[in-house]
Structure 1
Amino acid sequence: MSEAMTSREPAAVAPPSTLIELAGVEKVYRTGKLEYRALRGVDLSIARGEMVAVVGPSGSGKSTFLNVITGIDRPTVGAVTIDGTCLDDLSEEELAVWRGANVGIVFQFFQLLPTLSALENAALPLDFLRRGSKRDRFEQARHNLEVVGLGDKVDHLPAELSGGEQQRVAIARALAADPGLIVGDEPTGNLDTVTADEMFQLFLRLNRDGKTILFVTHDRDLAARARRVVEIRDGRVVGE
């Protein structure tokens, strides 16, 4: 048999598709005659399935960076495209619906409703989207609470949970609509070191399950454990 017939070329591996694309993004906040340039010409691509940590000093533009990606803020200049959807093309109402269906957001201060149980808090995004029956929403919320290790505390109010448990409820809420993108704004900022590590391990597990994880943190040791670190300073991406 000839060498030409027996040799095999290695199979080509398709590169991961782009999920997030920022092109020339600037954000200027105006108060009267005062202007503050929070972002200054940011160009950045994030592939589907990546885990990316965003670091930088206070006031560097990290939170604004997350806000334009999630559609909470609109760029003054430039374009933000998520999974092929240009956010500039959406109205405010369309943005809210898009965000609820495609992005899970985890905040530093949990932002749970104090009068609702863990189960009710975890079901809120589905209530907003009016997805399925109330029973279906609660079943999905219960499943997500089990995923984050709180299957035995579905009826607890936030005040009856530790800080780490409240953050787990917030993550379960972020998972409600099964979004492909999970965004965290200092998600471990109010947690002790051990609990913060538990949260990061949960993010790793979600990332292995196919979720794209993007989070801002002041903790450079925590950031260094992500597969990619983006540094923002004075509104610009200055390193990776």
Structure 2
Amino acid sequence: MRKTAVITGAGRRFGFELAKALLTEGYQLFAHYNSSRDGIDELEALGAQGVQADFTNIDSIQAMVRTISSATDSVDLLVNNASCFFDNETVDNDNNALAAVFQVHGMAPYLLISGLQRQLSHSGNGLVINITDIYADRPSTDYIAYCAAKAGLANMTQAFAKSLAPSVRVNAIQPGPILFLPEHDKEHRMQVLDETPLRVEGGLEPMIETVRFLRDNPFITGESIKVDGGRGLMI
């Protein structure tokens, strides 16, 4: 039977590449996006169903849950990948940015996991993967709110793993320097790589392979796996 996946933040970077990989494997895919449709048209052309939702709005998240619930009785994989990344100065001067950090990384995953619990349980091997961060364990003082929100998502991972077992497994992936942003200059990149034991930019394939590993190993729940080239050892 065809498997079903839901990916939040599916229009770019890891979410986009994971979505393409799962579509290639034959999944029915719900690809979430907020305001930008970058990448979504391509995913829809490959067979995905785009689902718009503003994760700072409870009604919008609940509408997304209703859309998915009305379209399928079963969800095999939910990947909470959507993110917003603001430093202290930004959230200190913009209350909306501060609220968004906790809404996108906390409220939205909570509502999606709770709202799709029946579909996840119905699959017989439902899996939730939350994308957290290596800084959830050792926070950066430059991104206090972001790190706190990701730490909350890490805690939520363990709590849902306990409460939804045995019908649904819940795990997390903690990425490190997998793919630099365009605004990262050469000096920044070299500094990060110098502080990473494996000294390479990981790319997105190791993240995708970790999703497959968690999917294909039925005896793992409540775990967080670092995919960071060892950088978590150094921060």
Higher strand proportion (structure 1 or 2): 1
**Fold agreement, TM-score > 0.5:** no
TM-score with structure 1 length normalisation? 0.31
Which one has more relative contact order, counting CA pairs under 8 Å at least 6 apart?
Answer: 1
Higher helix share: 2
